Structure 1
Amino acid sequence: MRDTSRRRTGIALAGLLAADGLVHLYWATGRTWPAASERDLSLAVLGAEVSFAPSVVLPLAALTLSGAAAVLGHSYGRGGRVTRAVTAAVAAGLAVRGLAGLGWAAGLLDSPPGPFHWLNLVLYTPACLGFGWAAARLVRAR
Structure 2
Amino acid sequence: MNTTRLGAFVAAILVVDALAHLYWLIWPASDPRALSMAVLNMDVPFTPRILLPLIFLLTAAAAAIVAVSRGRGGWPAKAVALALGAGLLARGVVGLVWCLGFGTDTGTPFYWLNLLLYTPVCLISAGAVVLILARTRKTLVRV
Note whether the superposition's TM-score is higher than 0.5.
Answer: yes
| Pairs aligned (count) | 135
- State the match for 2:24 in structure 1: 27
Using the TM superposition, name which of 71-80 and 22-31 deviates more: 22-31
**d(CA) in 1 for partners of 2:130 and 2:115?**
22
1:128 aligns with 2:122: yes
Name the structure 2 match of 1:65: 59
Counterpart CA distance in 2 for 1:114 and 1:49 is: 14
Alignment counterpart, residue 76 of structure 2, candidates 66, 71, 82: 82
- Structure 2, unmatched stretches of 5+, are 137-143
Q: Does 2:38 align with 1:44?
A: yes
* SS of alignment partner, residue 72 of structure 2: coil
- The residue number in structure 2 matching 1:111 is 104
Task: Give how far 1:31 is off.
Answer: 2.3
Gaps of 5+ in 1: none
Letter in 1 for 2:103: D
Please give the alpha-carbon distance, in whole angstroms, between the structure 1 residues aligned to 2:110 and 2:75.
Answer: 36
SS of the counterpart of 1:77? coil
Q: Deviations over 1:32-51 (max 9, x none)?
A: 2xxx5211110110011110
Q: Corresponding residue for 1:12?
A: 9
CA RMSD of aligned residues (A): 1.2
C-alpha distance in structure 1 between counterparts of 2:48 and 2:127, whole Å: 31
CA distance in 1, matches of 2:70, 2:124: 21
Give the TM-score, by structure 1 length.
Answer: 0.90
- When normalised by structure 2's length, the TM-score is 0.89
